[in-house]
Structure 1
């Protein structure tokens, strides 16, 4: 049996789990890489959480900081949010009702993908990094991981799965956190007959952004996906709809 090892930490208000598979899964370098991943995610949460009074996001909201005073990485994320808004025709927008800035819809995927580069340094290990249902896969062996898509009506079940040797899977919806997503076109919470939309593709940052924009788009969600990305939507009655390329994954 191929050696495996797993780690779990609570970061960003959600469980972050890492699964290692391969001869080096139990090695010191593998453990050090995972600890570095967790450290980077803790730092990203410290800087970007809208729930922490000392974060850059909170201090910008209160006027304690202005954009000339923030760390360059905050400006980088702000620029990425602008690109994401433009590439989704405004359905992803970090400028939220009330005039504040909340990049949470991009930061998790961006931070996990960036931290995941630490895992690539351990070349004899396959990795599956799961951040509250958003998944990054790195498989130098070429053997895929199977990623399950949670049933939004029953967290203990999966409605579908997708095999990945690399890249990402991200899901957006209201099952876990209620109506926390808003439609930038109206400024109102999203009301949809879709319970969730999952997106898979090469980048977790963009899979996460596209899943959010797709969920906001409602019945037009497949039109939000960029080339190289495929999606699966779950309707309130349990029926599934997939884009053409999903079944080939």
Structure 2
């Protein structure tokens, strides 16, 4: 019987779970790696959360700190946001209406991807790191995890699944947080007949960015995924119908 162990903590305002599978799942090395993952994500939330008054994002918004005085990691994320905007033709943009800056659409995927490096150091364990539905998979054994895609009309139901031996699955839509996504082209809320778009690919940072941009693109979402090789998508319509790109479901 394959050994399994799981951990769950509330970070960034959402449940983050780690599943370990393999002989080393119960080892001290696995425990240490997971604690480092959570510690890193807590620190990222401290720096980037727009809901914490003393975060860099909040201080910048209030004009209490200038860009040349923030931690270098904040400037790194800002540069990544600019690159994401260019990659998506402006469909993803951390500059929000009214002149604010909110990198949340990139930070979670970037942070989880970076924190996942701690898991890669434990070579005899397969890992599935789930940050509120955005999933990073690390499988040295090459045995896949099956990642479920939530029904945006019924959070308790899975409408599709995709096997992954590595890489990421990210989903963007309005089911969990309502109409929180905006369209940089109009400056208003993103409008689409698609309830969600899920994206698979090598990097969770880019899968998350592309999922956001794809949702904003509405019916043009499959074309957005052509911005980078190795990314595929699944869209769910309001009537429950699904549409997948040609490579969806590949490991």
Report the TM-score when normalising by structure 1: 0.99
* 1:102 paired residue number: 102
Q: Which secondary structure state, in structure 2, belongs to the residue aligned with residue 17 of structure 1?
A: strand
> In the aligned structure 1, how far is the partner of 2:223 from the partner of 2:107?
23
Separation in structure 2 between the aligned mates of residue 190 and residue 210 of structure 1, nearest angstrom: 15
The aligned counterpart of 1:164 is 164
- Shift of residue 190 of structure 1? 1.0
Give the superposition deviation at 1:248. Answer: 3.5
Alpha-carbon distance between aligned partners in 1 of 2:4 and 2:221, rounded to the nearest angstrom:
37
Q: Secondary structure of the equivalent of 2:42?
A: helix
Alignment partners' CA distance in 2, 1:241 and 1:22: 34
Which residue is equivalent to 1:15?
A: 15
SS of equivalent residue, structure 2 residue 67: coil
Q: Establish whether residue 233 from structure 1 lines up as the match of residue 235 from structure 2.
A: yes
Given the alignment of the two structures, is residue 245 of structure 1 paired with residue 247 of structure 2, yes or no?
yes
Whole-angstrom CA distance in 2 between matches of 1:212 and 1:66: 28
The 5 Å alignment of 1:64-103 reads 64-103=64-103
Structure 2 residue runs of 5 or longer lacking an equivalent are none
1:246 and 1:166 map into 2 onto residues whose CA distance is: 14
Give deviations 1:4-54, integer Å, cap 9, x for gaps: 000000000000000000000001010000000000000000000001000
Q: What is aligned with 2:59?
A: 59
Preserved contact between residue 163 and residue 249 of structure 2 (Cα < 8 Å)? no
- Superposition pairs of residues 71-150 of structure 1, within 5 angstroms: 71-150=71-150
What does the per-residue CA deviation read over 1:74-129, in whole Å, with 9 as the maximum and x for residues that have no partner? 00000000000000000000000110100000000000000000000000000000
Aligned to 2:224: 224
CA-atom RMSD, angstroms? 0.6
Range with bigger deviation, 153-162 or 9-18: 153-162
Distance 2:2 2:219 in 1: 43
Separation in 2, partners of 1:246, 1:142: 18
CA distance in 2, matches of 1:137, 1:54: 32
Partner of 1:192: 192
Cα distance in 2 for partners of 1:110, 1:247 equals: 23
Which residue of structure 1 aligns with residue 41 of structure 2?
A: 41
In 1: Cα distance, 2:246 partner to 2:138 partner: 24
How far apart, in 2, do the equivalents of 1:93 and 1:167 lie?
A: 24
- TM-score normalised by the chain length of structure 2: 0.98
